[in-house]
């Protein structure tokens, strides 16, 4: 199993550009989510999904879009990048049994918006 994979590892964008951060998992997990990590802020939830076709907003959703057409993939789209979106982005997945199942994290994508 590859676990949770994310691409790219690092990206530089100019303000106003759009891009998609890719996330895939091969563990057949229902739950997938995106977090951003900023210095001194911990990890904050952007969007999450409990299955194909089902998505919802987290704590900091503005400026980001998601969709989930398959169980395996959960891409995060930045529609018009802003410097405030400079961050490290983590994708995570886990079973959705409501029993505190372990969530597995990808290696992260570092994004720099100039």
| Positions in the binding site for other proteins (CB under 8 A) | 31, 33, 35, 40-45, 48, 50, 56, 58, 88, 90, 92, 94, 96-103, 105, 107-108
Based on CB atoms, which residue is closest to other proteins, 94 or 113? 94
- Closest approach, Cβ 52 to other proteins, in A, equals 16
- Closest approach, Cβ 66 to other proteins, in A, equals 14
Determine the Cα angle at 10 with ends 53 and 61, to 5°.
40
At residue 78, φ and ψ (nearest 5 deg) are -100, 120
Based on CB atoms, which residue is closest to other proteins, 33 or 85? 33
- Closest approach, Cβ 78 to other proteins, in A, equals 20
CA distance 49 to 88: 20
| Sequence-ordered list of residues with C-beta below 8 angstroms from that of 26, at least 6 positions apart, any chain | 1, 2, 3, 72
Based on CB atoms, which residue is closest to other proteins, 27 or 88? 88
Where does the chain have alpha helices with state H? Answer: none
């Amino acid at each position: 199993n590859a676990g949770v994979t994310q691409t790219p590892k690092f990206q530089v964008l100019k303000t106003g550009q759009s891009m998609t951060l890719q996330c895939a998992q091969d563990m057949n997990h229902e739950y997938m989510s995106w977090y951003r990590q900023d210095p001194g802020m911990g990890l904050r939830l952007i969007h999450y999904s409990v299955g194909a076709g089902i998505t919802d907003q987290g704590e900091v959703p503005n400026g980001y879009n998601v969709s989930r057409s398959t169980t395996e993939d959960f891409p995060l789209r930045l529609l018009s990048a802003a410097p405030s979106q400079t961050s490290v982005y983590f994708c995570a997945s886990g079973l959705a049994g409501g029993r505190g199942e372990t969530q597995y994290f990808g290696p992260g994508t570092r994004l720099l918006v100039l």
